[in-house]
């Protein structure tokens, strides 16, 4: 049983609370590897949050550069041709970003959010966007200190991925995988 103290100093059983796994990635390859691993474990674009600057999206995650002359670009182009870019292949991040129906850009900040956080913000309307990036991250279960760290990283061109693991086995597997694949500030 996981217990901690609430704001009143009382012990609270937190074992039933859903925890969020988060990680920050500096390049397209590590970002797509992390996303691919989530797909392999059965998580869909509706389970996964991606947060990046609009500038990063334009530079690295758009349909124009999906066929870059890299191994990742080649695989992405092959799979995109088969209609599976969103289905868990390398290059899937481009497909998710292209599926703008579940993403929002926070006005004035140039931050793109795709996934369940975006759906929640879109449902909240302008009031939901007023809290900015840190508010969106904290609202999704990320502690404020970490949200501030991620905000700085996103402004530097990094991508933050978060997911609510279905069980401890998934959480441990994903956490280790992300760390092995150059994920930074990976926390569960």
pLDDT, one tens digit per residue, over 17-48 is 678 999 999 999 999 999 999 999 999 888 99
User: Mean pLDDT in runs of 10 for the chain (188 residues)?
Assistant: 52 60 95 93 91 88 55 38 38 54 65 79 50 78 92 94 96 97 95
The Cα–Cα gap between 63 and 134 comes to 28
**pLDDT confidence of residue 17:** 60
Q: What is the pTM of this model?
A: 0.71
**pLDDT confidence of residue 131:** 60
Provide CB contacts within 8 A for 8, sequence distance 6+. none
Q: With beta carbons less than 8 A apart as the criterion, state whether 173 and 70 touch.
A: no
**pLDDT confidence of residue 172:** 96
């Amino acid at each position: 049983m996981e217990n901690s103290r609430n704001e009143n100093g009382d012990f609270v059983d937190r074992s039933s609370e859903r925890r969020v796994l988060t990680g920050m990635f500096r390049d397209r390859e590590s970002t797509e590897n992390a996303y691919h691993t989530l797909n392999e474990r059965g998580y869909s674009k509706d389970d996964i949050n991606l947060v990046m600057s609009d500038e990063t999206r334009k530079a690295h995650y758009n349909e124009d550069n999906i066929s870059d002359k890299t191994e990742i670009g080649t695989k992405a182009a092959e799979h995109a041709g088969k209609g599976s870019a969103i289905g868990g292949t390398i290059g899937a991040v481009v497909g998710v970003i292209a599926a703008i129906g579940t993403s929002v850009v926070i006005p004035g900040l140039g931050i793109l959010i795709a996934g369940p956080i975006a759906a929640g913000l879109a449902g909240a309307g302008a009031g939901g966007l007023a809290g900015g990036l840190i508010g969106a991250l904290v609202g999704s279960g990320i502690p404020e200190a970490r949200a501030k760290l991620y905000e700085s990283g996103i402004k530097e061109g990094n991508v933050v991925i978060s997911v609510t693991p279905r069980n401890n086995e998934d959480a441990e597997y994903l956490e280790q995988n992300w760390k092995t694949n150059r994920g930074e500030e990976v926390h569960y």
